[in-house]
Chains A and B, each alone.
Chain A
């Protein structure tokens, strides 16, 4: 059983989260644009230093570590695939080995894209590669920022359901951010509302 993620963070004018807990499984963080959802993920990943607060995983104080030692993988809304590397090399970037990377591409059903550059991937393929890359780095926490927003509704629900099966299979504490209440209902085991920087568990 994995540990629980605990977040208390304040970023002046952007975020005020008090005691958000994320157990293993998918917690959906939703709320209107500008409510601080992405800011919250950046703080957890260590890419943004909060004015005050603490991020813990079990007893480990993540906020004392630099981002590359936190083992918190973040899938950006833009996916942020490395444009100069093919899909397999993208996944292998944080993986133990290329063989391991290929196994993750297989699990997200994107093995056929291995030798293609990000510019040559469809939206759905890029999505699969981005998730494979995050999971291949063997994270202890997974963060997904509006992960399926670039796709039309039908594909989004289908691909979302499929990829979240993979995520659930891994069993990590996972935060999925969305501004869409219906997505939140469709994707989450647990839903947290973030509005004007404050969290409410639904």
Chain B
């Protein structure tokens, strides 16, 4: 069995979880603390990648990041290679797929922090940024970690968005899910079965760890 697609999936999913984690916690934090006109609509927009067909997501990412787009051209000017049909494209695709899981969980966890703890911290002289990093974030770490883990699992398994944005290039963007499709198409059943089994084991293991992270526990640890 060829393990390269698995290693690639891991690499892409880790980077995607990192990107989605940082951006998602930031966005979730803002949405947990502020109400503004259109915040409900924005929430729906951020959550949409969970339910949209991956091809739709991939289509819009191609429009936004393709070689003819403003972002795509600026990126190509700066770094000398396009975003789409590269490994960067695969990471972007997986990040977008992972993002809603992080935002949803981070927001819920941050909203659950007692506002009196935040008020107490402010009256003790802490700026909003310090309160975020020393009170809100530590108290939401379980929920955020489970969001990032779910995002990682989603990124690891992505098929459609990656195919649309990054293609199916052996050794470059052919992740495990794409390799399974290829193996079935090519009649290499043993390869497909092996990769599929590994993916199932990973998914179950990750979900199990999420359950552990979100298991209610008494304060004081």
Contacts and interface: CB of A to CB of B under 8 A. Distances in A.
Nearest to B138: A84
Given A133-B124, A137-B124, A74 B219 contact: no
Contacts of A46: 122-123
Contacts, number: 73
B120 interface: yes
A119 B121 CA distance: 18
B216 interface: no
Contacts of A118: 219-220
B117 A119 contact: no
Contacts of A69: 125
Nearest to B219: A83
A44 B114 CA distance: 20
A119 B218 contact: yes
Q: Which of B123, B134, B135, B218 has the most CB of A within 10 A?
A: B123
A68 interface: yes
B120 A80 contact: yes
Contacts of B126: 68, 93-94
B127 A68 contact: yes
Interface string A97-131: 00000000000000000000111100000000000
B139 interface: yes
Contacts of A133: 124
> Is the contact region of chain A dominated by helix, strand, or loop, or is it mixed?
loop
A117 B123 contact: no
A138 to B, nearest CB: 9
A83 B220 CA distance: 6
Given A74-B120, A76-B119, A80-B116, A68 B220 contact: no
Q: Which of A73, A76, A84, A137 has the most CB of B within 10 A?
A: A84
Contacts of A67: 119, 122-123
Nearest to B127: A68
Contact of B219 (A47, A76, A119): A119
Contacts of B124: 68, 73, 93-94, 133-134, 137
A179 interface: no
Contacts of B221: 84, 117
A67 B127 CA distance: 9
B125 A137 contact: yes
Nearest to A70: B123
Nearest to A94: B124
Contacts of B125: 68-69, 71, 94, 137
A41 B128 CA distance: 20
Interface string B195-221: 000000000000000000000001111
Given A84-B138, A84-B139, A74 B220 contact: no
A111 B146 CA distance: 37
Interface in B123-145: 123-128, 134-135, 138-139
A43 B138 CA distance: 28
A68 B122 contact: yes
A64 to B, nearest CB: 16
A72 B114 CA distance: 20
B220 A82 contact: no
Given A78-B116, A80-B117, A119-B219, A47 B139 contact: no
Nearest to A48: B119
A70 B215 CA distance: 39
A198 B136 CA distance: 36
A45 B123 CA distance: 7
Nearest to B120: A80
Given A68-B123, A83-B117, A93-B124, 5 more contacts: A76-B120, A82-B120, A117-B219, A118-B220, A119-B219
Q: Which 5 A-B pairs have the closest CB atoms?
A: A119-B220, A94-B124, A80-B120, A67-B122, A83-B219
5 contacts: A67-B122, A83-B117, A93-B134, A137-B124, A139-B123
